[in-house]
Amino acid sequence: MAMDLLWSQGILVLHLGIIIFNVVGVVVIPWGAWRHWRWVRIFWWRALHLVALSVVALQAVLGRACFLTIWQSRLQEEAGREGFRAPFIQTWGNHQLFWNLPMTFFTVVYLLVWIYVIILWWKVPPVWPRRGAVA
């Protein structure tokens, strides 16, 4: 039971990290292009960002909750937890992640962000790794 709660909190931290990664990428890519920061064009970083946001948009279009949310919730239930009787960080994280708005709202937002990232891929193209180049 305690291990389920620990795993649930780990998933929450991972989930928050992915959200921060996605949001920071959306802001930093155009800003970094304007400031001529080369690292915002690193291919693997940009590809990971695009894939992460594609997963978010696809789940929203399919009307599904994020698999991390489902996994965290199941682990919390298995640990016998309900509501917000959890550590402060976990409670705060849940409040930041889970808003009481219709799924349609999130679907539209996620799709718009995904389209924006696709446009950024075209406007601020990543630099493809050269053969034999060391990163």
In this prediction, residues 64-80 reach a mean pLDDT of: 84
pLDDT over 90, % of the chain: 48
30 within 8 A of 120, measured Cβ to Cβ? yes
Rounded alpha-carbon distances, angstroms, from residue 52 to 1, 3, 12, 34, 102? 31, 27, 16, 23, 22
Instruction: Tell me if residue 5 falls in helix, strand or coil.
Output: helix
Spatial CA neighbour of 124 closest among 71, 55, 50? 50
Instruction: Tell me if residue 127 falls in helix, strand or coil.
Output: strand
In this prediction, residues 105-113 reach a mean pLDDT of: 91
Q: Over 60: is that where the pLDDT of 85 sits?
A: no
**What's the whole-model pTM score?**
0.78
Q: Over 50: is that where the pLDDT of 87 sits?
A: no
- How far is the C-alpha of 22 from the C-alpha of 37, rounded, in Å? 18
In which band, very low, low, confident or very high, does the pLDDT at 64 lie, cut at 50, 70 and 90?
A: confident
User: Mind listing the pLDDT tens digit for each residue in 8-33?
Assistant: 889 988 998 999 999 999 999 999 99
Displacement of CA 124 from its chain's centroid (Å): 20
Spatial CA neighbour of 50 closest among 125, 102, 103, 107? 125
